[in-house]
Structure 1
Amino acid sequence: MNKQHIINNAEYFIHDEPYYEPSANEVDIFNSALAENIPVLLKGPTGCGKTRFMEYMSWYHKRPLITVSCHDDLSTSDLVGRYLIKDNSTVWQDGPLTTAVRNGCICYLDEIVEARKDTTVVIHPLCDDRRILPLEKLGELLPASPDFCLTMSYNPGYQSAVKDLKPSTRQRFISIDFSYPAENIEAAIVHQESKLSMQQCEHLVKLAHMTRNLVGNGLEEGASTRLLVHTAKLISRGFEANLACKCGVANAITDDEETKKLLHEMIDTVF
């Protein structure tokens, strides 16, 4: 049986600086956690910049970044690795977590609560003083590279008894709370990403805040910064702002006809 470990680290590097506007002290907190080998949990609503933040920190520290989008069917083998049949022999193939541990990458588990609970337990030995990854199928305890960093994200808005982090997992991490940026910063982000005029971007942000005020009263979540960027790009392509907002915001965040009608009225008011 062969083991396959070597990767081309270059493919995991962020070569161009991602645009990111800090909204609080999240950069300083992450820098300190990285220096002390402390795992980091990012909490915040959909589309508020958690993934962009990780890309920025990867670029800033010149550390390779491996991102795993978690889902209900994510198994321990998907994270750690498995044996594969290749050329009439059995070859061990590292999973993304093992690859990160071996090669000193930042491993980012996006929306960790979507993964099965038995899968997340495998990260526990990595998140304390041991910093080891048990590879049961290899009979090996893999020590983490000094540069390895584990980060996770989740959306507290979808928190439930079924989908929540166990205290035994949560208390291995420091937590950074993310929210939507202040209005002036959010408008600047939308402007930078879409090249739409600042005035139009400010109108979009105003609309977003109106939708966020409806959370719990017809909406699970308001319009995200990501949705605003998508909508701004439609406007930049020549679509009328009213139509772009109905397609990019209202119809994207709800299917309820009464709520959509209310959102359309808001759009007519702003634009």
Structure 2
Amino acid sequence: MLVNIPYYHAVGKEKEVFEHAYKNKIPFLLKGPTGTGKSRFVEYMAHQLDKKIITISCHEETSSTDLIGRFIIKGAETVWLDGPLTTAVKEGAIIYLDEIAEARPDVIVAIHSLTDHRRELFIDKLGETVKAHDDFMLVASFNPGYQRGFKELKPSTRQRFIAVSFEYPETKIETEILVKETNVDHDVAKKLVAIGNKIRNLTELGLTETVSTRLLVDAAKIIHSGLPKRLSVHVAIVEPLTDDLQTVEALKDLCDLMI
């Protein structure tokens, strides 16, 4: 059976750092803007280590109950159903909490005992404490650019992790990523990366988020499948960035000149 190996291009020593964190049972935190390859990196490392990965995309409604588990009605009985975090703790999987700062505060409280020397999970509804499997690893990510006030990770939480910062790759590497991911022509990939870098440097536009590698990959995919280049750049890069009509038109004009 063919195994689909996640593609990841290392930009530093992040692989080695992750491996040592796993070996020493230390939680791992990925910091960086959206679309810089954080989730792909975790998938890649799980494959390299031959470990099951359970991913939770955290949001403002994500609670500790969603992660730990709950009682459900099954026929005439009330039974306990383990949540994804409890499952990972018991089975020795990698649990990946994507955008952890978006989750409710009780999630942070729930994982504290898993991120220090105790490596245990307390299930209050059962009155039980579960010791983590020897292979269990907790990985989390967050985007510092999103953090405002109550969503900021506290030092008491951050200092429980080994942390690595993710940024947009340098031009050569980002071009290689586009070609590898989409089979698009190298010259087209190079132009898309140039557009991405140009927009990233336009700080005067006041964009909440800038062009991610993910957006460039999407543009390359639809160009490779036959959609005209200018239209592809408009719908895959410009439109997702902003709803301001003047900014959209300015970005379209800029991209038309560069593509």
TM-score class, shorter-chain normalisation, is over 0.9
Using the alignment, how far apart are the partners of 1:33 and 1:160 within structure 2?
29
- 1:15/1:59 contact within 8 Å kept: no
Residue 216 of structure 1, CA deviation: 5.9
Are the equivalent residues in 2 in contact too, given 1:218–1:259 (CA < 8 A)? no
Instruction: Specify which of 245, 255, 258 is matched with residue 267 of structure 1.
Output: 255
The equivalent position to 1:70 in structure 2, one of 52, 58, 72, is: 58
Name stretches of at least 5 consecutive residues in structure 1 with no aligned partner: 1-13
Distance 1:260 1:227 in 2: 15
Q: Which residue of 2 aligns with 1:9?
A: none
**1:153 counterpart (141, 144, 158):** 141
Equivalent position of 1:6 in the other structure = none
- Which residue matches 1:22? 10
| Cα deviations by residue, 1:182-205 (Å, 9 ceiling, x for unpaired) | 111111111111111011000000
Aligned to 1:139, which of 127, 133, 140?
Answer: 127
Runs of 4+ deviating beyond 6 Å: none
Counterparts of 1:270 and 1:122, CA distance in 2: 49
Give the % identical residues: 47
Count matched residues.
Answer: 258
Task: Give distance in 1, aligned partners of 2:52 and 2:136.
Answer: 10
Q: Residue in 2 aligned with 1:33? A: 21
Aligned positions of 1:39-118 closer than 5 A: 39-118=27-106
Q: How far, CA to CA, are the matches of 2:229 and 2:151 in structure 1?
A: 37
Distance 2:128 2:162 in 1: 28
Question: What's the CA shift string for 1:22-75, capped at 9, x where partnerless?
Answer: 011110110110100000110011111000000000000001000001011111
Q: 1:226 aligns with which of 196, 200, 214?
A: 214
Mean CA deviation greater in 195-204 or 230-239: 230-239
Aligned to 2:171: 183
In the TM superposition, residue 119 of structure 1 has moved relative to its aligned partner by 1.9
Q: Indicate the RMSD between aligned Cα atoms, in angstroms.
A: 1.2
Segment of structure 1 superposing worse, 15-24 or 133-142 = 15-24
Matched letter for residue 124 of structure 2: E
Deviation of 1:162 (Å): 2.3
Give the one of 175, 185, 203 matched to 2:191. Answer: 203
Q: Counterpart in 2 of 1:162?
A: 150
TM-score with structure 1 length normalisation? 0.93
User: Is the 1:39–1:173 contact (alpha carbons within 8 Å) kept by the matching residues of 2?
Assistant: yes
- Which position in structure 2 is the counterpart of 1:3? none
Matched residue SS, 1:162: helix
Does the CA-based 8 Å contact 1:215-1:221 persist in structure 2? Answer: no
Q: Deviations over 1:213-257 (max 9, x none)?
A: 124632122111111111111111212211110111111111111
Contact 1:242 1:268 in 2 (8 A): yes
SS of residue paired to 1:253: coil
Q: Equivalents in 1 of 2:15, 2:203: separation in Å?
A: 28
CA offsets, 1:89-143, max 9 Å, x none?
1111000000000000000000001101122210000000000000111111100
TM-score of the superposed pair, with normalisation by structure 2: 0.97
